[in-house]
Amino acid sequence: MKKIVHFRTDTSYVSIIILIIILVIILFPIFSIVMTSFQKTRDIITYPPKYLFSPTLKNYIEIIKLGLIDGLKNSLIVGSFTILLTFIFGSPFSFIISRNLFKRKDDIRFWILTQRIMPPIAVIIPFIYLWSRVGLFDTYIALVTTYLTFSLPLYIWLSIESFKSVPQEIEEAAALEGCTLFQVFAKISIPIALPGLISALLFTFVFVWNEFFFVFALSSKLQTLPLIVASHGQAVYTSPWGTLSAFTSLLSIPPIVLMFFFSKFLTKYFIITE
Amino acid sequence: MKPSKNQQRGYLAFFLPCFILLLIFSLYALFGVFGLSFNQIDLKYPLSHGFTIQNYKNLFLDHRFWNAILISFKWLLVTTSGSILIGLGIALFLFRRFRRVENIISVIFIIPAILSRVGVAQAWRLLYRSFGIFNYFSNLVGLGSINFLADPRLAFFSVAFVDIWQWCPLIAFLFLSLLNSIPESHIEEAMIEGANRREIHWFITLPMISNGALAIFFIKFVESLRTFDLIYILTQGGPGSTTETLDLFAFYQGVTIGGKISYAASMSVIMLILSLTVLTFLWRSLWKKLNNA
Touching B: A residues 23-62, CB under 8 Å: 23, 25-27, 29-30, 32-33, 36, 45, 47-49
- Alpha carbon distance B204, B186 (integer Å): 8
| B200 part of a folded domain | yes
Residue A6 has pLDDT above 80, yes or no: no
Handedness of CA B162, B256, A132, B27 (dihedral sign): negative
| B23 part of a folded domain | no
- The SS3 call for residue B239 is coil
| B29 part of a folded domain | no
| B11, B3 Cβ separation under 8 angstroms | yes
**B122/A245 CB distance under 8 A:** yes
| B25 part of a folded domain | no
Average pLDDT, chain A: 85
Query: Per mean pLDDT, which of A28-32, A109-113, B27-31, B252-256 is the most reliable?
Result: A28-32
- Alpha carbon distance A228, A243 (integer Å): 11
Tell me: cis bond preceding B239? Omega within 30 of 0 counts. Answer: yes
The pLDDT, as a whole number, for residue A5 is: 42
The pLDDT, as a whole number, for residue A2 is: 41
**A212/B229 CB distance under 8 A:** yes
Q: Which residues does B203 contact at the CB level (< 8 Å), separation at least 6? A: B190, B195
Q: Is B207 on the interface with A (CB under 8 A)?
A: no
| B232 part of a folded domain | yes
Buried b (16+ CB within 10 A) or exposed e, B136-151: eeeeeeeeeebbbbee
The pLDDT, as a whole number, for residue A213 is: 92
- Alpha carbon distance A78, A215 (integer Å): 10
- Phi, psi angles (nearest 5°) of residue B24: -60, -50
| B39 part of a folded domain | no
Q: Is B159 on the interface with A (CB under 8 A)?
A: no
User: What is the pTM for the complete model shown?
Assistant: 0.88
**A271/B32 CB distance under 8 A:** no
Could you say which residues of chain B have pLDDT below 70?
Answer: 1-4, 290-293
Across A97-116, average pLDDT:
80
How close A37 comes to chain B (CA, Å)? Answer: 11
The pLDDT, as a whole number, for residue B291 is: 67
Question: How many Cβ atoms from other residues are within 10 Å of residue B56's Cβ?
Answer: 15
Q: Could you report the per-residue pLDDT of A122-181, keeping only the tens digit for each?
A: 888 889 888 988 888 889 999 999 999 999 998 998 888 888 888 888 888 888 888 888
The pLDDT, as a whole number, for residue B293 is: 55
**What is the ipTM score, two decimals?**
0.87
Q: Which residues of A touch B204 (CB under 8 A)?
A: none
The pLDDT, as a whole number, for residue A267 is: 58
Q: Is A163 on the interface with B (CB under 8 A)?
A: no
The pLDDT, as a whole number, for residue B285 is: 78
Q: Which residues of B touch A212 (CB under 8 A)?
A: 116-118, 228-229
Amino acid sitting at position B228: F
Of B253, B275, B248, nearest to B264 by C-alpha is B253
Question: How many Cβ atoms from other residues are within 10 Å of residue B264's Cβ?
Answer: 30
- CA A103 remoteness from chain centre: 32
**A26/B112 CB distance under 8 A:** yes
If one counts the domains in chain B, the total is 1
Would you place residue A76 in the very low, low, confident or very high pLDDT band (cuts 50, 70, 90)?
very high
| B122, A245 Cβ separation under 8 angstroms | yes
Q: How many Cα atoms occupy the beta-carbon half-sphere of A52 within 13 Å?
A: 0
| B107, B176 Cβ separation under 8 angstroms | no
| B59, B267 Cβ separation under 8 angstroms | yes
| B155 part of a folded domain | yes
Of A255, A16, A156, A61, nearest to B93 by C-alpha is A16
**A113/B283 CB distance under 8 A:** yes
Question: How many Cβ atoms from other residues are within 10 Å of residue B157's Cβ?
Answer: 15
| B5, B230 Cβ separation under 8 angstroms | no
Touching A: B residues 163-192, CB under 8 Å: 165, 169, 173-174, 177-178, 187-188, 191-192
Q: Which residues of A touch B269 (CB under 8 A)?
A: 122
- CA B186 remoteness from chain centre: 34
Range with the poorest average pLDDT among A10-19, A64-73, A124-133, A193-202:
A10-19
| A39, A53 Cβ separation under 8 angstroms | yes
The pLDDT, as a whole number, for residue A239 is: 73
- Alpha carbon distance B196, A235 (integer Å): 56
Alpha helices, H only, chain A: 2-5, 13-37, 41-44, 58-65, 68-98, 105-117, 120-133, 140-164, 168-176, 181-184, 190-210, 213-218, 225-234, 241-270
Q: Is A85 on the interface with B (CB under 8 A)?
A: no
Structural domain harbouring B273: 64-292
**B225/A119 CB distance under 8 A:** yes
Percent of chain B predicted with pLDDT > 90:
27
| B165 part of a folded domain | yes
- Phi, psi angles (nearest 5°) of residue A7: -55, 140
**CATH code for position B114:** 1.10.3720.10
How close B131 comes to chain A (CA, Å)? Answer: 6
How close A232 comes to chain B (CA, Å)? Answer: 10
Residue spans per domain, chain A: 2-58, 65-270
Structural fold of domain A65-270: MetI-like fold (1.10.3720)
Q: Which residues does A177 contact at the CB level (< 8 Å), separation at least 6? A: none
The pLDDT, as a whole number, for residue A21 is: 95
The pLDDT, as a whole number, for residue A19 is: 92
Distances (CA, A) of A116 to A219, A237, B14, B214: 22, 37, 21, 18
Of B44, B37, B257, B23, nearest to A133 by C-alpha is B44
How close B282 comes to chain A (CA, Å)? Answer: 12
Q: Could you report the per-residue pLDDT of B186-238, keeping only the tens digit for each?
A: 888 888 888 888 888 888 888 888 878 888 888 888 888 888 899 999 988 87
Residue A272 has pLDDT above 60, yes or no: no
Q: Which residues of A touch B165 (CB under 8 A)?
A: 25-26, 29
Amino acid sitting at position B139: N
- Alpha carbon distance A92, B14 (integer Å): 5
- Alpha carbon distance A98, A161 (integer Å): 7
- Alpha carbon distance A146, A218 (integer Å): 9
Torsion of CA B125, B128, B132, B138, to 10 degrees: 170
Q: Which residues of A touch B28 (CB under 8 A)?
A: 126, 130
- Alpha carbon distance B210, A22 (integer Å): 25
